Amino acid sequence: MTELDTARPAKSKKQPWQKAVILAIESRTPRIRSFFLAPERPFSYVAGQYVKVRLTADDGYSAERSYSIASAPDSGAVIELAIEELPGGEVSGYFHDTAAVGDTLEIRGPLGGHFIWRTSDGGPILLIGGGSGLVPLMSMVRHRALQKSTARMGLILSAITWDDVLFRDELLDLAQAQTGFEVKLTVTREAPSRPDVASRRVDSAMVKEMLDRLGAAVSGVFVCGSNPFVEAAANAVTALGIDPKIVRTERYGE
């Protein structure tokens, strides 16, 4: 994911820094790559949480950023971070231009206690993501699938183009399985390549369509993306009469 705005609650017990090795790197979209990390001390986490990453130069200068975890809590000790390359991004630039399999970096986590979901929380739940804002939501989607949860879940995902749809094939396969997971994709800067893909920004009509597909009142809404995206999407949700108290948002920085 892109670098997060970390103004959100973390666990009261401070998590120590530890080393993690990059086991694999996978290209996801033209601007996003997944980095699979093996922490020195494996930890458990909840879908939606994040880790801090710290890079330290030979001269002692260090930089920290926060990245959501894309993998599911049930998928093992290796964690996946899907990181978007940002123009001039200090840490994202390292990941996209320099990082290699076998490299070691420092991480701290898991962190975050607000933007999380467990299968025991039930549903239906609505997820709305913009671009790499899908990352923490993907952890929830994968968690539901691995647990074979019957909680209904709907995802609305907005991307610039069809090629920029993060985890596109995996999402379409999960929706096709017809297990109670619904997905709606929309692109904003090109004509859709399929009849079931929209070509506009997320609006109340799109949200209502997904709510109708879920078939029952949602128990929670999770929205993640850039500041403008989150603002617009959250407004589209509450305009339909959904209680703002069940709408949780997470915004990533530039």
Band (13; pLDDT cuts 50, 70, 90): low
Let me know if residue 58 belongs to a domain: yes
Query: Is the predicted pLDDT of residue 243 greater than 70, yes or no?
Result: yes
Q: Give dist(CA 139, CA 116) in Å, integer.
A: 9
> What is the span of the domain harbouring residue 97?
17-111
- In this structure, what DSSP letter does residue 4 have? B
Number of domains in the chain: 2
State the chain's mean pLDDT as an integer.
92
Q: Are residues 39 and 92 in the same domain?
A: yes
Do the beta carbons of residue 117 and residue 49 sit within 8 Å?
A: no
Contacts of 190 (CB under 8 A, 6+ apart): 160, 161, 162, 199
Asked, for residue 47, whether it belongs to a domain, the answer is yes
Is residue 202 predicted with pLDDT exceeding 70? yes
52, pLDDT greater than 80: yes
Last residue of a domain, one of 58, 84, 111: 111
Question: Do 66 and 172 fall into the same domain?
Answer: no
Mean pLDDT calculated for residue range 148-153: 96
Rounded percentage of the chain residues whose pLDDT exceeds 90: 83
Token couple for 24: 């694999």
Q: Which residues contact 47 (CB under 8 A, 6 or more apart)?
A: 72, 73, 116, 117, 118, 136, 139, 140, 142, 143
Q: What is the structure's pLDDT at 17?
A: 96
Residue where one domain finishes, among candidates 47, 78, 111: 111
- Encoded tokens for 67: 């990245």
Query: 62 pLDDT exceeds 60?
Result: yes
